[in-house]
């Protein structure tokens, strides 16, 4: 019997969804029975030379371990920089530092992530409160691209938090929509517009410790005490031409192309 199109389409969709769910269950039960995770489950070990979405997912989680002044590319290609970042991640958590992401590494990542893929100590809500609003719309990028940037920012902050002794990091401002950024007097090209930036409170660490430590975790923009208007917070962002200026903390570096776009509150 041929069903009318208006009935057949939803039915086909339901069948497709059921098939996908069954397929996913089958794959996870065969390859990795104990480790299914609410956010993302890896189905194979990854080492140098591997490519794919599972590599990309790994890179997001270890983006906070690129080495001082460096930035890890999130490109799905497991090259030497990814291996070095993975070794640093493994060392940071006392795992065997072999540069191969296997069950031990994935178990640690599952422990560190929430079901929405954010690291356990940070949330999307913390990073979208620039003007007391919520959500990630109203910036120059799509909402999903902005959320992705915020996710990367959070994983880098998680790495920094761990390196600083697992003490809380306070975020005072993250993503800002265009009107929000304007209302707080942010620069027209502020990294906050892109979900790339976080302004930190002193917390128990103090501003200088935060500004100094950020150099090791992939933050290209670091502005803190001694830089104009940054004596009451530390601004971190994901720009890839390093511009670091917290002169009162001994933090200073400007790459040839670096620029202080940020006149930030």
* Residue 245 CB contacts under 8 Å (≥ 6 apart), including other chains: 222, 223, 224, 226, 227, 251, 252, 254, 260
Residue placing its CB nearer to Zn ion in the complex, 152 or 235: 235
Question: Contact with Zn ion (CB under 5 A): which of 127, 235, 244, 251?
Answer: 235
Residue placing its CB nearer to Zn ion in the complex, 161 or 192: 192
- Measuring CA to CA, how many Å separate 164 from each of 49, 155, 158? 32, 14, 10
Residue placing its CB nearer to Zn ion in the complex, 135 or 185: 185
Question: Tokens 């993503």 — which residue?
Answer: 175
**Position 158 contacts Zn ion (CB under 5 A):** no
| Catalytic-labelled residue, pool 162, 192, 217, 230 | 230
| CB 235 to Zn ion: min, Å | 3
**Position 264 contacts Zn ion (CB under 5 A):** yes
Please answer whether residues 81 and 89 qualify as being in contact, where contact means their C-beta atoms are separated by less than 8 angstroms: no
| CB 245 to Zn ion: min, Å | 13
Task: Quickly count: other Cβ atoms within 10 Å of residue 29's Cβ.
Answer: 10
Residue placing its CB nearer to Zn ion in the complex, 88 or 235: 235
* Residue 144 CB contacts under 8 Å (≥ 6 apart), including other chains: none
| CB 200 to Zn ion: min, Å | 9
| CB 122 to Zn ion: min, Å | 16
**233 among known catalytic residues:** no
**Position 199 contacts Zn ion (CB under 5 A):** yes
Using alpha carbons, select from 193, 238, 192 the residue that is nearest to residue 218: 238
Q: Which stretch binds Zn ion (CB under 5 A): 37-45, 148-156, 177-185, 197-205?
A: 197-205
Backbone angles phi, psi at 90, to 5 degrees: -60, -40
Active site residues per annotation: 230
Contacting residues toward Zn ion, per CB under 5 A: 199, 235, 264
């Amino acid at each position: 019997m041929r069903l009318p199109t208006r009935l057949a389409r939803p039915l086909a969709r339901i069948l497709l969804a059921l098939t996908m769910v069954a397929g996913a269950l089958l794959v996870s039960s065969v390859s990795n029975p104990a480790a299914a995770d609410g956010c993302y489950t890896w189905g194979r070990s990854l080492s140098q030379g591997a490519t794919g979405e599972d590599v990309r997912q790994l890179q997001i989680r270890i983006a906070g371990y690129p080495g001082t002044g460096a930035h890890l590319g999130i490109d799905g290609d497991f090259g030497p920089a990814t291996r070095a970042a993975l070794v640093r991640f493994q060392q940071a958590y006392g795992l065997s530092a072999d540069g191969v992401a296997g069950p031990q590494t994935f178990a640690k990542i599952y422990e560190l992530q929430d079901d929405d893929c954010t690291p356990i100590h940070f949330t999307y809500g913390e990073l979208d409160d620039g003007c007391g609003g919520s959500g990630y719309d109203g910036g120059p990028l799509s909402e999903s691209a902005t959320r992705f940037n915020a996710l990367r920012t959070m994983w880098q902050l998680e790495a920094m938090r761990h390196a600083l002794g697992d003490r809380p990091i306070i975020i005072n401002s993250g993503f800002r929509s265009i009107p929000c950024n304007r209302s707080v007097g942010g620069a027209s090209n502020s990294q906050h517009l892109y979900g790339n930036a976080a302004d930190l409170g002193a917390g128990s660490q103090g501003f200088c410790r935060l500004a100094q430590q950020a150099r090791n975790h992939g933050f290209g923009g670091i502005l803190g005490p001694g830089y104009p208007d940054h004596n009451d917070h530390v601004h971190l962002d994901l720009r890839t031409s390093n511009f670091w200026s917290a002169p009162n903390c001994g933090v200073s570096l400007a790459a040839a192309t670096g620029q202080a776009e940020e006149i930030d509150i």
